[in-house]
Amino acid sequence: MKKPINVVVVISGSGSNLQTLIDQAAAININITGVISNIASAYGLTRAAQANIPTQVVDHTQFSDRTAFDTALMVAIDSYQPDLVVLAGFMRILTPALTKHYTGRMLNIHPSLLPKYRGLHTHKRALEAGDKEHGATVHFVTEELDGGPNVIQAIVPVADSDTEASLMEKVQEKEHKIYPQAVAWFAEGNLKMEHNKAFLMGEMLPPTGKRLPNDSSLAGTKQANN
Ligand code: GAR
């Protein structure tokens, strides 16, 4: 097995996606070297501390503008020497200087089937539009907000009875499958971004990214590889 890659996870909240990465770190061959939050009370920091992972808070309210915040964030991230930076519920918009610095080595998870519903309130917007399908996407981060090339998506059927809360829960359940999968591919050296396109094992991924089959219960790292 290859040497584990160093991963830094950046959060703003509960950190349930962080938790799945902590739980699967050995299986997917990653070493989470640091967790950074812009919110001091984020529960994800507790999860990291419980797993003995170093943490830092970079509080955006302490900076005069986005550039100053992003500069401090970059210093914090780079202090953990990441091969990959994973945004997991990080709720700040990043400057082009920061996204350029991490080109091809920063992933984000977004609670919609991108390019649908970039930005906030995705579950509400899907319900209001009467969508029959909703979901989550892992994508490479570029300077375009929620606009970098897609890596993998999971679809969630929307039931008539769904509320924002029930939909969020179903989507998060899928997130916890697709994020470890995408990170595993990266750690294996099989996932790359070149010229603003995502490649898996040398093959360009379609605009949707890979699709996690509806009934899949991904346990290993290879199952969505086909
Ligand atoms: C996740 O559902 C993620 O998709 C979303 O925040 C949640 C974080 O949950 N991210 C965004 O909305 C980014 N624009 P978690 O803290 O429990 O992992």
Residue 82, domain CATH = 3.40.50.170
Number of domains, the chain: 2
Q: What is the pLDDT of residues 133-187, one digit of tens each?
A: 999 999 999 999 999 999 999 999 999 999 999 999 999 999 999 999 999 999 9
Query: What's the CA gap between 203 and 21, in Å, rounded?
Result: 25
Average pLDDT in the 12-19 region?
98
**Are residues 48 and 137 both part of a single domain?**
no
Q: Which H or E run contains 106? A: strand 106-110
Flag whether 13 is marked binding: no
Residue 159 counted as domain residue: yes
CA 91 to chain CA centroid, Å, is 11
Q: What is the pTM of this model?
A: 0.95
Strand partners for 135: 155
pLDDT bracket for residue 223 (50, 70, 90): very low
Q: What is the pLDDT of residues 79-88, one digit of tens each?
A: 999 999 999 9
Flag whether 91 is marked binding: yes
Residues forming the active site = 110
Relative to the CA of 18, which ligand 1 atom is closest? 18
**Are residues 98 and 157 both part of a single domain?**
no
Contact predicate 19/47, CB 8 Å: yes
Residue nearest to atom 7 of ligand 1 (CA): 89
Domain that holds residue 53: 1-102
Last residue of a domain, one of 102, 124, 152: 102
Residue 223 counted as domain residue: no
* Lateral strand order in the sheet of 197-200: 191-194, 197-200, 203-204
**Are residues 132 and 172 both part of a single domain?**
yes
Amino acid at site 80: Y
**Are residues 48 and 81 both part of a single domain?**
yes
Say which DSSP state 117 is in.
Answer: S
pLDDT higher than threshold 60 for residue 215: no
Flag whether 118 is marked binding: no
Residue nearest to atom 16 of ligand 1 (CA): 15
Q: Which residues, in sequence order, are CB contacts of 176 under 8 Å at separation 6+?
A: 16, 17, 20
Residue of 32, 45, 86, 109 with the most ligand 1 atoms within 8 Å of its CB, for mutation: 109
**Are residues 113 and 21 both part of a single domain?**
no
Last residue of a domain, one of 57, 86, 102: 102
Residue 225 counted as domain residue: no
Q: Is the CB of 22 under 6 A from ligand 1?
A: no
Residue 15: predicted pLDDT: 98
Residue 116: predicted pLDDT: 98
pLDDT higher than threshold 50 for residue 8: yes
Last residue of a domain, one of 102, 121, 146: 102
